Amino acid sequence: MGKMLISKLSEFVVTHGLTYEQVARDIGVSQATVCRWINGGMGIGNRNKHKVTEYLKNWNNKKEKNSLSFENWPLTEVQLQQVINYLSNPNNRLELFEFLAKIERFNLNSNKNRLK
């Protein structure tokens, strides 16, 4: 199970354009640990197997909860970098176009309000 879980985690990281730092923070381990798991330096211990399994299983719920909206603006520099990383992933292209459309509507509404 350990090697299969590492393979799933590695594929997941690539598919979603995540950094080892993001994954480590979400799972609750160090970035070096995630790097060693994925690059074959060490297996996932029993204590962390459950964390990794839950992380992979719950990703879609987290993604929906953290979807982009203007309710959380302005963004911090770290948050903005996370948005850029997420939207830079080709798998998220549709979401990028939807996000750009939201920005355009937001800018149009802001400009209309300023003209009044």
Q: Which two tokens stand for residue 23?
A: 């994954």
Co-location of 71 and 108 in the same domain: yes
Co-location of 27 and 74 in the same domain: no
Nearest to 40 by CA among 1, 10, 19, 11: 10
Amino acid letter, residue 7: S
Co-location of 87 and 35 in the same domain: no
Co-location of 10 and 57 in the same domain: yes
Co-location of 44 and 96 in the same domain: no
Q: Would you say 68 and 43 are in contact if contact means Cβ atoms under 8 Å apart?
A: no
Alpha-carbon gap, residue 20 to 5, rounded angstroms: 16
Element (H, E) at 32: helix 31-38
Co-location of 92 and 59 in the same domain: no
Give me the domain span that covers residue 35: 1-65
Q: Which two tokens stand for residue 28?
A: 């609750």
- How many distinct structural domains can be found in the chain? 2
Collect all residues with Cβ–Cβ distance below 8 Å to 113 and sequence separation of at least 6: none
Co-location of 72 and 61 in the same domain: no
Mean pLDDT, the chain, as a whole number? 76
Co-location of 97 and 56 in the same domain: no
Co-location of 58 and 1 in the same domain: yes
The CATH number of the domain where 5 resides is what? 1.10.260
Return the top range by mean pLDDT from 12-16, 91-95, 109-113.
12-16
| pLDDT, tens digit, 9 for 90 and up, residues 29-79 | 999 999 999 988 788 888 899 889 988 888 755 554 445 555 555 667 777
Amino acid letter, residue 56: L
